[in-house]
Amino acid sequence: MIEMRRANVFRAGPRFARPKALPSIGLLLWMGMLGWSCLGHRSNPSPEMRTPTVLPTPSRTARTTPPPIASPTPAPRLWRLTHPACCTSPFWSPDGREVWVIDRPDPEAPAGIWGIPLSGGAPRPVMTRLGVFSPDFRRVAYPEAGQTVIEDLQTGERWTAPTGGRAVVFSPDGEWIAWEVSAGNAPSLERRVTTLWIARANGEEARPLIRLIGGGFAGWFPDGEDVLVIQREAPGADPFLAVVHRPDGSLRRIAQGERLRGAQISPEGGWIVYQNLFAADPGQSGLWVVRKDGSGARRLPVFGAYRWRREGALLVIPLEPGAPSHRAVEIDAASGAIRPLTDPAALPFRIAGGDWALSPDGQRIVFVSAEDRHLWILELPSP
């Protein structure tokens, strides 16, 4: 749901000093669906590398050069990318060669997106324009004079989208946008009525796609022909996941639960992962996967934070309260088989506040460490 995904960009956590002259709070909140933060950061040291060892407490001080980006990874590796208090809410460049953050490294530098090379070192300015980007970062949407402006960063073309200043979500190819319009105040999200609208990125062919009850938009499928939504038959009824065909608005129901959250579409669009929370039957609560056609529904044997690593392969950081370290596992959606990716006894790490991002190729995680507040890179074993 668009509204539910607007987290405040200044996340809870350690209070570092905010740099001066950052973009307006209004713009940041409008962008908040991306979960980005703007916190100051300093010059970056050479990366600190860690590899698995049989020692119960592996050293964090050995330094070496990270492996080349294109080289396969037979075992997980971990290295420090930045100093403490650098930044939060990191994300990846489209090619996966840099970690990007919204920042202002020093008082003389402009606020904007800055790129940090995987080998560490000084950040470089990427762009000063901030907003909601298309997946390839060719187009950006931002508020201006109460309207939503779409800008093509390659051609310089600008269009005013007919959204009434609302935030949008780009389709994977950047050619379409989607946004929600609420029918008014509702006593609860379960009873809220919204209309999902779509249009071309230039604002043409704008139309309502579907009326949603107690649900919302959950994502675009890779081909841009379908969208995923959470819907209800009536206010207060149990929600269900559905695929809506963009050209004609036809709907196909694929899964149902009592409290559906966190739906994510796999890279090729064949699978959806989602949470069903606090079900009356405990056996129905947990993390689930289902195929786009509604077949193959499966409750997974672990619960935690997750991202699709590749088609049919889900990366999960299991929720294990009290454990001294996080760990990463890969789950095959079709069989439910679990493949451990890291061993806490050999390579411990702890992610602060769920602040992590998976690289486009599924090979690396960047995260804020709960131990030292550095940004770290965890390189995962190859498939």
pLDDT of 189 reads 76
pLDDT of 50 reads 47
The two tokens of residue 307 are 């991202």
Which string of DSSP letters, residue by residue, matches 68-100? PTTS--SS-EEEE-S-TTS-SS-EE-TTSSEEE
Q: Please, which pLDDT band fits residue 48 given cuts at 50, 70 and 90?
A: very low
Q: How far is CA 353 from CA 88, 111, 319, in A?
A: 10, 24, 12
Q: Are 249 and 209 in contact (CB under 8 A)?
A: yes
pLDDT of 233 reads 92
Is 80 exceeded by the pLDDT of residue 332? yes
Query: pLDDT higher for 40 or 345?
Result: 345
- pLDDT per position as a tens digit, 353-369: 999 999 999 999 999 99
CA–CA separation, 55 and 273 (whole Å):
36
- pLDDT per position as a tens digit, 120-130: 888 999 999 99
Give this prediction's pTM.
0.81
pLDDT of 20 reads 31
| 3-class DSSP assignment, residue 33 | helix
- pLDDT per position as a tens digit, 76-92: 999 999 876 678 899 99
- pLDDT per position as a tens digit, 94-112: 999 999 999 888 888 889 9
pLDDT of 24 reads 37
Is 90 exceeded by the pLDDT of residue 193? yes
pLDDT of 34 reads 37
pLDDT of 52 reads 41
Strand partners, 351: 369
Measuring CA to CA, which residue among 197, 190, 236, 245 is closest to residue 214? Answer: 190
Check residue 29 and report its DSSP letter: H
How confident is the model over 285-311, as a mean pLDDT? 96
How confident is the model over 230-244, as a mean pLDDT? 93
- Domains of the chain, by residue range, sit at 51-78+308-383
How confident is the model over 308-323, as a mean pLDDT? 97
Query: pLDDT higher for 346 or 46?
Result: 346
